[in-house]
Amino acid sequence: MQKLLVSSDTARKIDEEAQSAWGFNTFALVESAGRSCARVFVKAFPKFFDSRIPSIAIAAGSGSNAADAMVMLRYWILQGLASPSSSTVVVAKPPKRDEKNPYSEVFLSLKKMEVPILVWDGDLGEAAGRQSEDALARADIIIDGIFGTGVKGPVKGSSEEMITVVNALKRGTRAYATDQYKKPFVVSIDVPSGNSDEWKPGMPIMEADVTLSIEPQKICLFNPAARAFAGEIISLGDVFPPGLINSHQGAELLDWARARNFLPRIRPDAYKHERGTLEIRAGSVGTTGAALIAARGAQAAGAGLVRILADDDIYPILASRASGVMVSPISREGKGDRFKPDALLLGPGWGKEGDRAEQLAQALEKEKNGTPVILDADAIALARDAVFHKNAILTPHFGEFAAYVGLEIDKALNNPSKMLLEIAKEKKATIILKGHIITIAGADGRWGVIDGMMPALAAGGSGDLLAGFCGAMAARMARKGAFDGYACAAAAVSLLIAAGRLVGPRFIDPLELADKAADLAGQAWLCTGDN
């Protein structure tokens, strides 16, 4: 099932429609969200409740996000998982006497249950010992209920102060006179407070250990510049009806379970050409490994036949290590050559000198005539001025993308999706923006996000492997007459991340990653007696 990522404005519209057209009211939505957060957190982190009652503090604003947090605490108290005496609510401001909304109602409920409620008391810079700050400092768990996605611009005032203090406690940089203070576990609801579609580096933002993200999840969570502040993201899908969510548009959150279905299964009687043939132009003196890794990636992703067209001076090196991959010297191109590739891959370890521009021009002519072309690394830089014909996939990392569009890397990192979509449409190509968060923009306006967050993949070779995956899948699609650049890119990136998760949290050889990918791809696409 597709998982939608939406903007703050779309999230607001969904909330309004739930109340105006679907029979929900704001009290029911808050109760559902808070209880769901409480249940999911206990299931994900039972250690906090196994042996004792934890001390819990809420850092609360005055809106629905604060109400969600207080419902969460109330549910734990009613279930015997928390107690009023070990809990505290710290609010930016209390509700007015005549207020009637979820925040005021749950505030009253917790007050009746004798949960201590404190108003944030003082400016930053005062000596430690303020009552509200002490309550936060003593907590095992701090629930961040200061702001949701409705915040406009940077957080200010007492809300900013609370964010600053909680972050300092979490980092262990806040000094106190006794040893009873601890580093808390910070839980954000929906998004870390301060994050929004308008957030930019330097603005205040909560540094959460985990974010309980209510579906539809918010695209600002996966802004590469902000992603680390959310910690682990756990989605909650039982608040809004799927029919309501799916009536809106946005990006899709991709994973292997969904993206593997973008390509059909391979029949038991299929022969190698039906699986697609891929030609790779890659490698140069000192970077022959890139060509081999790309070729291994193509094999792992199911290509029926892979050929490296190599410079003459590196041909002997590649030919001696090819093992199942065809290798031909560039000087033999066109001389009795019967190899007819379904897709082309150019760029891994290729360099920009010599006849590279000429080879690229030949490939782009084939792209114009319908052959899928994957451009990686140096080939992307060489193709900066090209406009494609919806048969190209570009695979830049942030540095390459910044150079491609003429921006500083920091600007390319922050909320790149809008710019990426515009460039993909302008260039008529699918673009994979690689990084800890991977964003894919199709020439037709589709876009998706893969939540990578795998530092082990930030190493030489993983990009070459991904390019090989793309090439293999593009070749198979083209062989069937149904190339889809966005679907190809989504499946390739999802396969890379899924293979990385199988390897686990350790440093890896890209060829080991290829083996894991081959297992996943085979299980997904090969029709056998066992599958």
**Residue 188 domain-assigned (yes or no):** yes
In the block, residue with structure tokens 């070729």: 295
The domain boundary residue, chosen from 222, 250, 278: 250
Residues 302, 236, single domain; the answer is no
Residue 389 labeled ligand binder: no
- pLDDT tens figures, 60-73: 998 999 999 999 99
Residue 244 has pLDDT above 60, yes or no: yes
Among 127-141, 202-216, 406-420, the least confident range? 127-141
In sequence order, the 6+-apart residues with CB closer than 8 A to the CB of 323 are none
Residues 243, 340, single domain; the answer is no
Residues 51, 161, single domain; the answer is yes
Amino acid letter, 168: A
- Return the ∠ at Cα 175 (arms to 172 and 180), rounded to 5°: 80
**Residue 207 domain-assigned (yes or no):** yes
The CA distance from 218 to 440, in Å, is: 17
Q: State residue 127's pLDDT score.
A: 40
Among 16-25, 256-265, 327-336, 495-504, the least confident range? 327-336
**Residue 89 domain-assigned (yes or no):** yes
Residues 185, 276, single domain; the answer is no
The domain boundary residue, chosen from 250, 285, 302: 250
CA dihedral 259, 262, 263, 268 (to 10 degrees): 80
Q: In the predicted model, what is the mean pLDDT of the chain?
A: 92
The domain boundary residue, chosen from 203, 220, 250: 250
Q: State residue 125's pLDDT score.
A: 39
Residues 228, 269, single domain; the answer is no
- pLDDT tens figures, 418-455: 999 999 999 999 999 999 999 999 999 999 999 999 98
**Residue 399 domain-assigned (yes or no):** yes
> Is 343 exposed, middle or buried, given 0-12, 13-18 or 19+ CB atoms closer than 10 A?
buried
Residues 446, 463, single domain; the answer is yes
* pLDDT-above-90 percentage for the chain: 80
Residue 194 labeled ligand binder: no
- pLDDT tens figures, 34-57: 999 999 999 999 999 998 899 999
Residue 333 has pLDDT above 80, yes or no: no
Residues 276, 246, single domain; the answer is no
- pLDDT tens figures, 104-126: 999 999 999 999 999 997 644 34
Amino acid letter, 259: A
Residues 163, 197, single domain; the answer is yes
In sequence order, the 6+-apart residues with CB closer than 8 A to the CB of 362 are none
Residue 530 labeled ligand binder: no
Residue 290 labeled ligand binder: yes
- Return the ∠ at Cα 106 (arms to 100 and 112), rounded to 5°: 110
Residues 292, 233, single domain; the answer is no
> Is 490 exposed, middle or buried, given 0-12, 13-18 or 19+ CB atoms closer than 10 A?
buried
Residue 297 labeled ligand binder: no
Token pair for residue 373? 């072309």
> Per-residue confidence at 411, pLDDT binned at 50, 70, 90?
confident
**Residue 531 domain-assigned (yes or no):** no
Overall number of domains in the chain: 2
**Residue 44 domain-assigned (yes or no):** yes
**Residue 530 domain-assigned (yes or no):** no
CB atoms within 10 A of CB 152: 9
Find the helix or strand (DSSP H, E) in which 2 lies.
none
Residues 370, 401, single domain; the answer is yes
What domain range includes position 114?
3-250
The CA distance from 322 to 422, in Å, is: 40
Residues 184, 319, single domain; the answer is no
Residues 319, 237, single domain; the answer is no
CATH number at residue 102: 3.40.50.10260
- Return the ∠ at Cα 212 (arms to 209 and 216), rounded to 5°: 140
Among 90-104, 115-129, 177-191, 214-228, the least confident range? 115-129
Amino acid letter, 498: A
Ramachandran quadrant class, 388 (left: phi over 0; alpha: psi -120 to 50; beta: rest): beta
**Residue 27 domain-assigned (yes or no):** yes
CATH number at residue 356: 3.40.1190.20
Q: Do the beta carbons of residue 278 and residue 305 sit within 8 Å?
A: yes
pTM over 0.85: yes
Going through 110-196 in order, the beta strands assigned E by DSSP cover 117-119, 141-145, 185-189
Q: Exposure string (b/e) for 22-54, b if CB count within 10 Å is 16 or more?
A: eebeeeebbbbbbbbbbbbbeeebeebbeeebb
